[in-house]
Every structure is written in structure tokens, then in C-alpha cells.
Structure 1
Amino acid sequence: MLMSEEKDKVIFKRIQAFFVITIFLCFILVARLAYLQVLEGDYYEQVSEENRMRRITIDPPRGEIYGRDGELLAKNTPGYTVSLMDVGGADEEKVVYFLSDYLEIEEQEIKDKIDSQRFRQFEPIRIKSGLSYEQVAHLAEKRTELPGVILEIQPDRIYTQDKLLGHVLGYTGEITRTQLDRGMGEEGYRPGDIVGQSGLEKTYQEELRGEPGFRQVEVNRFGRVINNMGEEEPIPGNNLHLTIDVELQEFVSESLDHAIETIREEEGEEYEDHLGGASAVVMNPDNGEILSMVSLPKYDPNTLYENYADLIEDSTRPLRNRAISETYPPGSTYKMVTALAALEENELAAEETILDEGRYWNPPRPRNFQNRALGRIDVVDALKYSSNVFFSEMGHRLGINLLSEWSRNFGFGATTGLEDLDGEHTGIVAGVEYKERHFQEAEQQVWYPGETIIAAMGQGYHTYTPLQLANYAAMLANEGIHYRPHLVSEVTDSQGEIVEKTGTETLNELDISQGNWDLVKEGMRQVAQPGGTAGWMFDDLEFDVGLKTGTAEVAGRPSHGWIVGFAPYEDPEIAFSIFIEHGGGSSRVTPVARALIDYYFDLMEEDEEEPEELDMDTDSGYVDE
């Protein structure tokens, strides 16, 4: 009996303990539920909503780009993008594998995009843009098997002029991981966004971008959209209006193409392995507007990505904008710098003459072309005939420091101030500073008198871009004013209202006596007269122009050919530089300059407006080689 009572007590205590534990657990459960429902209720309600409500970004139409006369140069057309909702787990693995295989994208690339957006996991992740109609149709058919996959309409960029303006307009492409990490991610960009990658598209990305809209949708547990809850319309990007004259651009480009083709036909294999590219820049000398900027060879931004491997491997580097990103020795086009420096520094009197016997008397004793002795000549004659003897003597008198200073006065050794494109090079001003910076050994840094003589003729260490030479020609035309070069005249919104207008901006103005301007510009006028280095091509022109030809020697390879100038001589409307890389000299570019002037001033007959064949006959005059 006693044992039975003790047993009952033990059972009773156990029951009591059970009830206490049960009550305690119930209390914890109720407390936890109260915490979740009351204190954290708003948070979990938001999480629940975000699991079924998704906010999908609607890309704004990218701003369009127009030419000087209103030609549409860059526009949008509807395209398709495949995106992926965050569904997680095995479904995500299966979908990633399928998309990788079907769209030919590395699995890791897709996973990296997903990982990069974990902090915004309720927004769709763009996997690939520019889908073909066949791909869209196939993905639409497979939709029930691909949880989280959605197809979105995203504008594709179309460039109406194909290759003609590739280097100016640039191209767009998917934002890179580097761009996101360098700050674009903090500006609201996300993986898969399409942004400007080159040219004006890149420089004016923010203006062209617009403001995205949003669509609120309801999705099921598979990430499929089941209901559209409303949307906020995107704001289109702003439009760019350029200073580029599209018809002039086309004519100059075709003229350079024909000139290069003529060289190939006439010179054969000797030049075939050396011919590189060409460039031309035409400007308004009164305000810095760039009317034409040509770089050869060209590329088509419409087909850039499908041809990218070939473009990268091409030894002529078609993706490089030679007008701003390649530098070359200017040859005799530089001689106006030497002339003005000597006149302004009182190292040369206006009426002074020098006896030119065909070869300079100090080392390295440079010769004139074909050893031609010009007799007693002044600065006007020296420019007309491009006397190496005369300008060697001017270099000897000036010294390299003054010559370098005057080079910088004309904008050489620095960018021209163009803000519309990235990648402009400063070029190199020949001088002591360059050698000290470039060479490590003390004996290599020594500047020799003979190097000054070479520099005074535009050879040696000088290297400049075609844009710098065009800007220099503009400064000669307007007598010393360096205007900021620009490609964009104004920015307008989608309604046509002006958002920003580019004004004329003066960056520098040279204080040079009118008498010295008159002498040097008269020398440039004489270049186009009978006997001048371009007279063989210009002596029948009905109005005067200012020109200077240049042949830049390159060791072991054909020479580069240059011509710079302005037209008309009185009240110039255009200034220009034209260049052919390893084309054999100035005689190859001079006909292009004549064609440019004839075309711009409507001097061509109707049947001549297509540059079929350029006259390369130089027998009628002295050619600067």
C-alpha cells in the first residue's frame, strides 16, 4: 500500500512537471507569435508582399542624335531582353543551366549577375539583350518550364549612317562589372543595363539615358507574372544635335577612300604593307564647330559585337579614332609656328632674305626636296616653296626653348579642349622637357643643336593629332584665337525644348602683330599659287586660299602626307587638316583638299559631286616632299 502511494506521488509530480513545461512552452510560443505579429508585423507583411509583388523597371527610350541639318543619326527600335526573377533553389539552377546552354552564355556569368543583385532580389535580373525573334518565340513556348523567366521589350540602338560616323557617335553595350564598381552602380544602374561605351554615346550617357519607369506586378510562387498592378511611365532621354554636316562628312570620307585606293593601284605591293589609315577634320574657324571628323578605316557600330574579334585583330586598328587618339609628326605643316616665332622674337626681320643653296650649312645639314636651290628668299617665299634651309636657320636662331614655347602657344602638347569625346591625346612637343621625361639615362637627355634644326621643320620628336592640326589651321585663319572645338550644338528634351546650348568659348588668344600675321598668311596664300607646293592643284581656283603641305618622313616606311589650310583667304569659313598615313607624301592629300573646297563652295559640276578619281599629277608645280 505504501509503495503504491509513493508511485502515485511520482506520477503526479511528473504530470505536474509536464503541465509546467507545456504551459511554459505555450507561453514562449504565444510570446513569439505576439512578437512576430505585433512588433515585427509590418516587416513580415512587407516581405510577404515583396514575395508576390515585384517592381519591374521600364527602360526609357534613349535620346536620339541628329546631324547639323536635322538628319536622324541614332535612333531606337523595339528589341527584346530576357530577364530572370529570383526564384531560388533547384528551379533557379535548372533555369540558369537552360539559359546558359540556349543563349550561349557562361553559367558563371549568369550566376555573377544574380549574385550582384542580391540586395535587390525582388527586381528581375537582365540576362541578355538583343534577342532574335526566333529566340523570343522559343523562350515564350518554354515559359511554363522556366520559372522566373520573363521577356521584356527594350529599345535597340540603330545607327542610320552605318560606318560613316562610327567614331563620332560611338556605340552602346551592356554595362560592365568594372563600370558598376566604379560608381555607376551607386547611380542607379544595374547589371544588364545598356549604356554608352564609346563616342558621344558614352560622353553624353546621362543626357541620353532618360529616367526609368516602373511596373508593379503580382507573381505566383514560380515567379510568373499573374497580374499587372499599375505602372509609372519612363521619361525619354534628351536628344543631341550635332555640328556635323552629314553630306560633307560623306564626301570627305569618300574622297579619302578614293585617294587610298589610288595609292594602292599606283604603288602596288610596295605600299600595300604600309598603308595604315587616314583622317580629316573640318572646322568653323569662327566658333570651333567641327563640321566633319573622319577616321579611316571605319567600323559599323550596328554590327560591332558580331565583328568584334576581327576588329580587334585588324592591324589597321579600325576602332581607333585617328582624328583625336593617334599622333603623327606634322612635317612642313609646322613651319608657320617657326616663322611666327622667329618674327615675334625678333630673330627675323620682315624683309630679311636668306641665300638658299639647297642644303643647310650646319649639321645635320638637311636638304630641300630634290636638292632644289631656291636662291635668296624671304619668309613668304620660304613658306611658298617649303624651304628646309630657311626654317633650319630659323630654328638655329630661336633655340629649342623658344620653339617649344611657341608650339604650346598654338595648342600643341595639350588637348584642344574637346569635351564631347573621350580619348584625345596631347601629342608631343619636341624639346628638352620631353627628353628629360622620356629618357632615363643622363646622356640620352642631352638636347643637341641638330635636333632643334630638325624640330623647326616639323620633324623629330613632334607628334600631333589631326584635330590639333585642324585647330592650328583655324587659329591661323582667325589670327590667333583658340576656340574650344565641339561636336554638339545643343541638347533638347523629347518635346523639342532646348535644355542646353553650346556657346562659343575662347580658350586662348595670341598677341601677334598684324604685320607678322600678314606675312605668314601671305606665305600660305602663295602655297596655292603657281610654283607653290600646292599650286599644281590650286592655281585655277577662282578665289584665294591659305594652305601648307607637309611630308613627314618615317624611317624605313613611306612618308605620311599632310595638308592644312583655310578657305577662302579673306573671311575664312572653314579650316581643315587632311592626313594619309604612309601614303607617300603631301601630293596624295592635296587633291583631297581641292575636292573638299570645290564641294563645300559649290564649285563642282553636278556630275563631279561623287569623287570618282582624284588627280594626282604633280608635274605642273613644286611639291613639298
Structure 2
Amino acid sequence: MKKKSHFAMRVNIMFFFIFLLFSGLILRLGIVQIVQGEDFESELASTTNIISRINAPRGLMYDRYGHLVVDNTLELSLTYTNPSRTQKPVEMIAIARKLEPMIDIDTNRVTDRDKREYILLQMKEDERYRLINKEERKNLESNTLIYRLELERIPQQRVEDLTKADKKIIAIYRQMQRAHMNNAQRIKRNITEEEAHQISEILDQLPGIDILRDSRRTYVYGDSFREFFGSINVIPKGKVDHFLSRGYEQSDLVGTSFLEAQYEDVLRGKKAVVERTTQKTPGNTVQKKTREILGARGNDLVLTLDMELQQQLENIISKEMNKAGKGSFISDRSAYAVLIEPKTGDILAMAGYFDPANEKTEGVSDHIGNVTKAFAMGSTVKAASVLTGFQTNIIQPGDRFLDEPIYLPATPVKKSWTNQLGVVNDIQALEQSSNVYMFQIGMRLANCYYKEKDEHCGWNTNSIRKAYSEVRNSFNQFGLGSETGIDLPYSETGLKGGSEVGGNLMDLMIGQYDTYTPLQLAQYIATIANDGYRMEPRLVREIRAPLINEHDRTIVIKRFEPKILNRIEMSDAHIKRVKEGLRAVMTKGTAAKKFAKVRYNPAGKTGTAQVRIPVGEGVNRHFVEGNTQTLVGYAPYDDPEIAFAVVVPFAQLDEEGGRKGMAQNIADDAMKTYFKLKKVRKGPTLSPQ
């Protein structure tokens, strides 16, 4: 009984202490809420706490030899933060009016609606009621409809009477409107020192306005490879939700194209956080505290690009185009070239040139045309045609055909570029670029064994369709008509010809039907040079942590190893046989005049695809014929270390005064430059600032 009595007493004592604790807590809460509540409310009302997140500089880009190619430059940005969206439009206009005399800002994007909204904000209530009478307002279903009608009824003369200063105010206000809650919105980037000084003097009169450190991209070598580096801009409307779900804010700048977009997660830096607390004391003294958490620059990219070779290639193309002049083309003057390592897929250089035919302008760079534009590539694809014949057992090495015109019902005559070829085997067909040999492969795939003129020869709709499928599937193995795998957010895959009839099948075999990009063409020849292994083309080799100072040790976060996409379904013996034909092209075939005696010992294939474009209007409308000059190859032929593809679209026909061999000239100069740089390097040329 004693034990039970002691236990009960202890429990009672414990409950008593708990009661005292809760009583003390309730008393304290009462004091805080009732006695000191007004003081805390007053302190809260007089305290402003703004947290800004500032973009950190993005990661840098280097070429394969360590030359910095994309850098950041420090700049100052004028920003506006609307805390919890509490500031009203009229208050924002007042701030914009104070800023207007101190900064220059572009007004070209100010719309008519922007101007009318600005005027409406300046109107007094009675002025707005004069725009729409009371009866009309009753009949309108919503405030939105009333607002729209008010905007419409603002006299046009008032819009036209807006001054230059008004338009600047509107432009500033327009940027301020884009600010999201507690998120710094850039009003103007790269403000001058004078602008920053003037604004700083009255910053306390500009609630929400600040001057922040920012950075912008600079391109050390100007326009060289510039398009492939990509662009940075505000988040595109269609991708806002995607980025917000990944921790971005709506006003953030992101990579919107090419490498900047592809490697956004890598290049993006860690934001700095700036917390500003402003407190007014009873004596009207303003106390400000700032706490900053430093950000970190994004990680760096090491590219496969050889910037020195890239610059040389751009100069080679530009020089050749200037020699040719606009008179050597039936349409726009342009040229494209890709240099790639066949064993790794590394893109060493990729250059393009474009000059519109109907404009009096100088040519501009069009490097991205190598992945965004597709052309019929002509006879350069014939190595794939011969290997397709081997793979399907349609032909065997050494098989011979008489190269003579082919006449089929309802089909234009099909023939080679000359009637002098006679009987040719597979190697000779490549060497002399026999169309008829390729026609025979395509026809036999469709069960057409041609013997005499106007013969139906056994093919039908089903057999022709099956042949198209086999040829395209075979070509896809080389990268022709399929995704190349390059590390870019977008690249073209070419177009398939629309009508699958027998005559077009024959054109497909000689590169006159489906279209391919210069990069696809380069991947195709690199696959043959690499003994049938198709490598994934790549522009980035490594991701590195940013260096704080130049003496730090380089830290490689990720190294991209060469990636095999597939091995073409052809035997080593067949590939070797075709490579013999490609070497013969350069030593005694269609490219021998240019390449037979060069020291770098290339193998390759020439091509000329026929093109027709409409010219003129109405009764004067007619077609002009030309060709697309192409050349693919690799060197040295016995141990390939570089492969190339050159495309010169819409060239004038030779007999019409066109410039011969433009693609061959570009390729030869590019190869000589590549092998020269292996011995002596001076580094790329800096762009004048």
C-alpha cells in the first residue's frame, strides 16, 4: 500500500509541474500578444526584407588546345524588384519618370497598346468616364471589356503627341511590369558608369530599384564558330513551366540555342543571394543591413574545336566564294565544309558562307547551315550504293556492267555523265563515277534486270517499294538520312523524295533524290574511313570545374569518350574494296587533276547534283539549271586521321560560265592547312575589340 501511495504522490507532483509550465507559457504568449503586440506590429510594419537572387556568370568554353573562345565580361545592370507585387502601376510610373533623364533605353519595342495604357494611367477618373458613359458601362459584361474599350477610345492624337521622354518612360515601365514577386527584373543591361553614378545618388528615392553586378558573353574570336556557341535570352514562353520546375525563376536568362542550350545545366552558375533589410526607428532613422551569399560560376566546356583550323577554313571558303563571284551561281552564293576525326567523331572545324542572290550585300557566316540545311549530294554517295549492292548480294567485287544509256517505259533516259566509259567494274565505277553501274544495282534490287530498250524488266510497285526501303536502311547505317547524334538540341535529318517510282529509285542511287546535310555527308565518309564504325559526332570533350585562379589544378568533372553508334553491316573485305575505289578517284579518276600529286594521300569521291530553280514572274517565269558541287574524302588513305565533306550548292553549269572545282579547291586548301598545322602552330587570331 505504501508503494502505491508514493507512486500516486509522484504522479501528482509531475502533473503539478506540467501545469505550472503551461501556465507560464500561456502567460508569456498573452504578454507578447496583448501587451507587446502593438510594438511588434509596428516593428514589422517598419521593416522591409528583400531577398534578391543574382545570376552567377556562366561557364566558359575552350577549344581543344586550351584557347578561351567564349568568355564573360562584367557589367552593371539596372534592376527592379517589386516586393510581393505591392507597388501599384502609378507608383511604378513615378519611378520610371525619375529614371528617364538618367538612362538611354531602346524605345523601338514600345507598342501602340503600351502607349495607350500609359495615357490611361495618367487620366483622372472623370476623364476615363468621358471615354465610356454610364449606360455603356452597364451594358459591358466585365471590367476587362471596359478596359479594352477605354484603350480603343483614347484619341489617336494623344498617342501621337507623346514625347520622346514619354516613350522612354513607357519602355522603362514596360520592363518593370515584367518583375515577379521578390525577383529582380533587368530594366537595362550594361549601363554606363555615368548612368550608374547618377542613379546611385538618388537610389533611396527609387524603391525597388538597384544596380547589380551582371555578366554578358563575349566571343574572343568574333564570328568564328559563333552560331554554334549559341545564344542566351529570357526563358521562351513555351518552356517556362519546364524551367520553373527545375528551380529557375521566370526572369532568368538561359541558353536558348545550340551549345548554350544543350549544356544549360552545365554552364549555369549558382546564384548569389542578396538579402537587404531596411528598418525605420521611431526617430525616423533608417537602418539598412545587407547579407550576401556568394554565387559560383558555372562549369566550363572543353570543345573538340580547333579554333585556328576553324578560322583558316572560314578564310578558305570566303576566298573561294569571292573568286567565284555571284555570276558563278544560279541562286544564293554559299558553301559549307565539315572537318571531322573519323576515329573519334571529334568535330575539328565546321564552317559555312551565305550570300543572298538578289541583295547587294557581302557574304556572312552560315556555320549552322552544316546541320540545318540539306541538299541532294550527287555522286558522293556512290560508295554507299556499291556497299549496298555488296550487302544485298546484288553484286560481288569485280562484277562488270556495260555503261550505256538505259531506256525504260515512262522514264527519261538514264545515263552517265559521258558515253566513253564502256565496261566497268565496281572500282572503275567509283573511279570514273558511273551512274549506270549504280542504276543497275538499284534496278536489280527492285527485280529489274534490264536487257533491251523499253523493257518492263520485271519490277512492280511492291518490288520498287521494297528496294527503296533496303537502300534507305542501308544508307541510314552511314548516317545518311538519319540522326547523326551530334550534341546539339537540333539538327536536320534531310528529306526523302516523295514519289517512290522506278526512275526516282535510280536517282536515289546516285544522290539525286533524297537530301542530306553536310554533317551527315561527313559522318558517312568518316564511317567508311573508320572501317565501317560510325562514330557519334561531338563538339564537347570535357566538362571542367571553374578555376578560381590560373594556378589551380584542373578538375575534370566529366570526360566524354568516343562513342560508336553502329557498325555498318558490310564485311571488312567489301569495305576495303570500296576504299580502293575511293583512292582511285583521287589518283586517276574524276578528282585526279587536283589530288593525284598531293602529299597527304587522300581518298574520296566527287559529286555534282543537278538542280533547277524558277526565275522570273508570270509569262517570263522559267527554270535555270545548275548543279551542287560536292566532295567527300579522308587522309591519309592508309591510316585516316581526318575526314571532310564540302558542299557548294546551286553553282552555275560549267558551260554557262560557272567556276569549276570550287568544292575541290576548298577541300584541297583545307587539307593542306590541316597537315601544315600539325607541324607549325601560331594560334588563332584574336578578334579586334
- TM-score category of the 2 structures, normalised to the smaller one: 0.7 to 0.9
Q: 1:338 aligns with which of 385, 390, 395?
A: 385
Q: 1:233 to 1:513 in 2, by over 3 A?
A: same
Question: Partner of 1:526: helix, strand, or coil?
Answer: helix
Question: Partner of 1:206: helix, strand, or coil?
Answer: helix
Query: What is the distance in 2 between the residues matched to 1:389 and 1:459?
Result: 13
Query: What is the distance in 2 between the residues matched to 1:225 and 1:491?
Result: 47
- Please say if 1:468 is aligned against 2:520: yes
Query: What is the distance in 1 between the residues matched to 2:423 and 2:565?
Result: 39
Q: Displacement of 1:111 after TM fit? A: 5.9
Question: Partner of 1:292: helix, strand, or coil?
Answer: strand
Q: 1:424 aligns with which of 479, 491, 509?
A: 491
Q: Displacement of 1:109 after TM fit? A: 7.3
Query: What is the distance in 1 between the residues matched to 2:338 and 2:544?
Result: 26
Query: What is the distance in 2 between the residues matched to 1:449 and 1:95?
Result: 72
Query: What is the distance in 2 between the residues matched to 1:254 and 1:47?
Result: 68
- Please say if 1:158 is aligned against 2:218: yes
Residue type of the alignment partner of 2:222: D
Structure 1 segment 86-485 matched on structure 2, within 5 A: 86=82, 88-89=87-88, 90-97=90-97, 102-104=104-106, 106=110, 117-118=179-180, 120-121=181-182, 123-141=183-201, 143=203, 145-179=205-239, 181-219=240-278, 227-264=288-325, 268-269=326-327, 271=329, 274-297=331-354, 321-357=368-404, 359-362=405-408, 363-369=411-417, 371-399=418-446, 400-419=468-487, 421-430=488-497, 435=498, 447-460=500-513, 462-485=514-537
Matched residue, 1:37: 33
Question: How far does the alpha carbon of each residue in 1:445-491 deviate from its partner, in whole angstroms, 9 at most, with x for none?
Answer: 5x32111111111102x111111111101111012111111110000
Question: How far does the alpha carbon of each residue in 1:510-564 deviate from its partner, in whole angstroms, 9 at most, with x for none?
Answer: 231222112211110011113x111111111135321111111111353211111
Q: Displacement of 1:237 after TM fit? A: 0.6
Q: 1:281 to 1:220 in 2, by over 3 A?
A: farther
- Please say if 1:541 is aligned against 2:598: yes
Residue pair 2:351, 2:367 contacting (<8 A) in 1 also? no
Matched residue, 1:506: 564
Residue pair 1:54, 1:217 contacting (<8 A) in 2 also? yes
Query: What is the distance in 2 between the residues matched to 1:71 and 1:541?
Result: 31
Residue type of the alignment partner of 2:596: D
Residue pair 2:105, 2:171 contacting (<8 A) in 1 also? no
Residue type of the alignment partner of 1:407: F
Question: Partner of 2:270: helix, strand, or coil?
Answer: coil
Q: Displacement of 1:244 after TM fit? A: 0.5
Query: What is the distance in 1 between the residues matched to 2:297 and 2:306?
Result: 26
Query: What is the distance in 1 between the residues matched to 2:342 and 2:445?
Result: 29
Residue type of the alignment partner of 1:499: I
TM-score, scaled to structure 2? 0.71
Structure 1 segment 525-564 matched on structure 2, within 5 A: 525-530=583-588, 532-555=589-612, 556-564=624-632
Q: 1:227 to 1:261 in 2, by over 3 A?
A: same
Residue pair 1:274, 1:557 contacting (<8 A) in 2 also? no
Residue pair 2:99, 2:199 contacting (<8 A) in 1 also? no
Q: 1:523 aligns with which of 572, 581, 600?
A: 581
Question: Partner of 1:158: helix, strand, or coil?
Answer: strand
Residue type of the alignment partner of 1:598: K
Matched residue, 2:12: none
Residue type of the alignment partner of 1:581: P
Question: Partner of 1:335: helix, strand, or coil?
Answer: helix
Q: 1:367 to 1:154 in 2, by over 3 A?
A: same
Residue pair 1:404, 1:429 contacting (<8 A) in 2 also? no
Query: What is the distance in 2 between the residues matched to 1:573 and 1:353?
Result: 33
- Please say if 1:601 is aligned against 2:675: yes
- Give the stretch that moved more between structures: 593-602 or 421-430: 421-430
> How many residues of Structure 1 are paired with residues of Structure 2 in the alignment?
537
Q: 1:77 to 1:38 in 2, by over 3 A?
A: farther
Structure 1 gap segments, 5+ residues each: 1-32, 299-312, 436-444, 611-625
Q: Displacement of 1:236 after TM fit? A: 1.5
Residue type of the alignment partner of 2:94: K
Matched residue, 1:54: 50
Query: What is the distance in 2 between the residues matched to 1:574 and 1:158?
Result: 30
Q: 1:70 to 1:192 in 2, by over 3 A?
A: same
Q: Displacement of 1:315 after TM fit? A: 12
Query: What is the distance in 2 between the residues matched to 1:225 and 1:529?
Result: 85
Query: What is the distance in 1 between the residues matched to 2:367 and 2:287?
Result: 49
Residue pair 2:341, 2:348 contacting (<8 A) in 1 also? yes
- Give the stretch that moved more between structures: 483-492 or 142-151: 142-151
Residue type of the alignment partner of 2:416: N
Q: 1:375 to 1:172 in 2, by over 3 A?
A: same
- Give the stretch that moved more between structures: 86-95 or 511-520: 86-95
Query: What is the distance in 1 between the residues matched to 2:46 and 2:647?
Result: 61
Q: Displacement of 1:314 after TM fit? A: 9.2
Query: What is the distance in 2 between the residues matched to 1:205 and 1:109?
Result: 30
Residue type of the alignment partner of 1:454: D
Residue type of the alignment partner of 2:396: A
Residue type of the alignment partner of 2:51: R
Residue type of the alignment partner of 1:503: E
Identity of aligned residues (%): 27
Q: 1:125 to 1:401 in 2, by over 3 A?
A: closer
Residue pair 1:217, 1:225 contacting (<8 A) in 2 also? no
Query: What is the distance in 1 between the residues matched to 2:343 and 2:567?
Result: 13
Question: Partner of 2:650: helix, strand, or coil?
Answer: coil
Question: Partner of 2:651: helix, strand, or coil?
Answer: coil
Question: Partner of 2:570: helix, strand, or coil?
Answer: coil
Q: Displacement of 1:92 after TM fit? A: 2.1
Query: What is the distance in 1 between the residues matched to 2:301 and 2:46?
Result: 39
Residue type of the alignment partner of 1:398: L
Q: 1:40 to 1:161 in 2, by over 3 A?
A: farther
Query: What is the distance in 1 between the residues matched to 2:55 and 2:237?
Result: 20
- Please say if 1:72 is aligned against 2:68: yes
Q: Displacement of 1:77 after TM fit? A: 1.1
Query: What is the distance in 2 between the residues matched to 1:366 and 1:567?
Result: 33
Question: How far does the alpha carbon of each residue in 1:162-204 deviate from its partner, in whole angstroms, 9 at most, with x for none?
Answer: 110112211222334444x232133333344322222211211
Q: Displacement of 1:152 after TM fit? A: 1.0
Q: 1:494 aligns with which of 531, 546, 549?
A: 546
Q: 1:576 aligns with which of 628, 641, 644?
A: 644
Q: Displacement of 1:374 after TM fit? A: 0.7
Q: Displacement of 1:392 after TM fit? A: 1.6
TM-score, scaled to structure 1? 0.78
Query: What is the distance in 2 between the residues matched to 1:96 and 1:335?
Result: 66
Residue type of the alignment partner of 2:539: L
Question: How far does the alpha carbon of each residue in 1:319-359 deviate from its partner, in whole angstroms, 9 at most, with x for none?
Answer: 671111111111111111111111221211212211224x3
Q: 1:215 to 1:517 in 2, by over 3 A?
A: same
Question: Partner of 1:581: helix, strand, or coil?
Answer: strand
